[in-house]
C-alpha cells in the first residue's frame, strides 16, 4: 500500500516538473474528447463556497480562431500572437457570485474567484500535460475586443485565455526555480 502511494506521488511530481508553458504548436487539431477531458478536470476543482465561478468558451474552429486572434493580439498585445498558432484557445470566464465573490472581496479584500479560476486553470494545464498536450496561460490580450468579438454578456468577466495544442518541440532543460528554503518556513517567517 505504501509503495502504491509513493508511486502515485512520484508520478504527480514528475507531471509537475515536466510541465512547461508552450509557445510553439503543431498545426494539428485536437480531438474534442481530449479538450473535454481537460475541461472535466477543471470542473472538478474546488472553489470558495463551492460557487464554481469558471466558465469556458472553447474556440477550435480554425477560421473563427484566426479572426479572434487578429482582434485580441493586435497593437500592444502583439507579443502574445504566438497563441494564435495553437489549435485551441480557451477563453476563461468568471461568473461572479454575490456572497463568495462580491461580499467576500469587500470583507477580505481578496478576489476569491481569481483563486478559484487559478485552481481550475491549473487542473486544465496538468490534465493537458498528462495527455501529451501543451498549454500556455495568456493574460496579455485585448479584453474589450475579446468581449465584443465573442458577444460576452456583462454577467461574465473574461479572466484569461489558454492556448492548447500539440507542442512543436517541448522545451528541454531544467526550469529555474527558487529553492524550497527560500519560499517556505515552519512556524515563523524566515
pLDDT band at 190 (very low <50, low <70, confident <90, very high): confident
Enter the CATH code of domain 21-166: 3.40.109.10
Q: In the structure grid, which three cell numbers stand for residue 159, read together?
A: 479572466
- Exposure string of 96-125, with b = 16+ CB inside 10 Å and e = fewer, is bbeebbeebeeeeeebbbbebbbebbbbbb
Closest C-alpha to 100, from 41, 54, 52 = 52
Mean pLDDT along residues 97-105:
65
Q: Rounded to an integer, what distance in angstroms lies between the CA atom of residue 65 and that of residue 61?
A: 6
Mean pLDDT along residues 92-120:
81
Query: How do the domains of the chain map onto residue ranges?
Result: 21-166
Interhelix angle 2-18/112-130, rounded to 10 degrees, is: 100
At 108 the pLDDT is 74
pLDDT band at 2 (very low <50, low <70, confident <90, very high): very low
Q: In the structure grid, which three cell numbers stand for residue 94, read together?
A: 468568471
pLDDT tens digits, one per residue of 115-173: 999 999 999 999 999 999 999 999 999 999 999 999 999 999 999 999 999 999 887 77
pLDDT tens digits, one per residue of 30-55: 999 999 999 999 999 999 888 999 99
pTM: 0.89
Mean pLDDT along residues 94-118:
78
Mean pLDDT along residues 84-105:
83
Which range has the worst mean pLDDT, 72-76, 112-116, 147-151? 112-116
Amino acid at each position: 500500500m505504501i509503495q502504491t502511494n509513493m508511486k502515485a506521488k512520484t508520478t504527480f511530481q514528475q507531471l509537475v516538473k515536466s510541465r512547461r508553458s508552450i509557445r510553439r504548436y503543431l498545426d494539428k487539431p485536437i480531438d474534442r474528447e481530449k479538450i473535454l477531458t481537460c475541461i472535466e478536470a477543471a470542473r472538478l476543482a474546488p472553489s470558495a463556497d463551492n460557487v464554481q465561478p469558471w466558465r469556458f468558451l472553447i474556440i477550435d474552429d480554425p477560421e473563427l480562431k484566426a479572426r479572434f486572434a487578429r482582434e485580441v493580439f493586435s497593437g500592444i498585445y502583439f507579443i502574445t500572437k504566438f497563441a494564435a498558432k495553437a489549435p485551441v484557445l480557451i477563453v476563461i470566464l468568471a461568473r461572479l457570485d454575490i456572497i463568495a465573490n462580491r461580499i467576500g472581496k469587500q470583507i477580505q479584500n481578496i478576489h476569491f474567484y481569481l483563486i478559484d479560476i487559478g485552481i481550475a486553470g491549473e487542473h486544465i494545464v496538468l490534465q493537458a500535460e498528462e495527455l501529451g498536450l501543451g498549454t500556455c496561460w495568456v493574460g496579455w490580450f485585448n479584453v474589450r475586443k475579446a468581449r465584443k468579438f465573442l458577444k460576452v454578456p456583462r454577467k461574465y468577466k473574461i479572466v484569461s485565455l489558454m492556448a492548447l495544442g500539440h507542442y512543436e518541440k517541448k522545451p528541454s532543460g531544467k526550469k529555474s526555480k527558487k529553492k524550497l528554503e527560500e519560499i517556505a518556513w515552519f512556524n515563523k517567517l524566515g
